[in-house]
């Protein structure tokens, strides 16, 4: 949300794109898992219910939980950022 606010303030144009199989292009040297709890887990599921609904579960206190691969996201960002910079984007 902070990024959206800054983009609006600076009158930037923003585009959103999906890269199918993007995580398959990253070379992971280690696995780093994250655990999303509560509201953030529910919000992730709302982004794409067909994809994420089957992975959410509740702990003994009925709090929604969702695991993710933090390392894959970081590596994908580095790969995408480096590639776009090579193509002349700033």
The domain spans of the chain are 32-90
The label of the residue with tokens 């983009």 reads 7
Alpha-carbon span 35 to 26, nearest angstrom: 21
The count of other CB atoms within 10 Å of the CB of residue 66 is 20
Which pLDDT does position 78 carry in this prediction? 83
Alpha-carbon span 53 to 43, nearest angstrom: 11
Which pLDDT does position 75 carry in this prediction? 78
Percent of the chain's residues with pLDDT above 90: 28
Query: Mind listing the pLDDT tens digit for each residue in 9-46?
Result: 999 998 887 777 776 667 777 777 778 899 989 988 89
Which tokens hold the place of 87?
Answer: 């193509």
What is the pLDDT of the chain when averaged over all its residues?
A: 84
Mean pLDDT calculated for residue range 40-55: 88
Which pLDDT does position 24 carry in this prediction? 66
């Amino acid at each position: 949300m902070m990024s959206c606010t800054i983009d609006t303030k600076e009158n930037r144009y923003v585009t959103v794109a999906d890269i199918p199989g993007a995580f398959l292009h990253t070379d992971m040297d280690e696995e780093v898992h994250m655990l999303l709890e509560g509201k953030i887990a529910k919000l992730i599921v709302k982004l794409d219910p067909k994809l994420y609904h089957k992975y959410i579960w509740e702990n003994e206190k009925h709090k929604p939980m969702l695991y993710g691969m933090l390392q894959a996201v970081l590596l994908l960002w580095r790969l995408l950022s480096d590639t776009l910079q090579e193509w002349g984007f700033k």
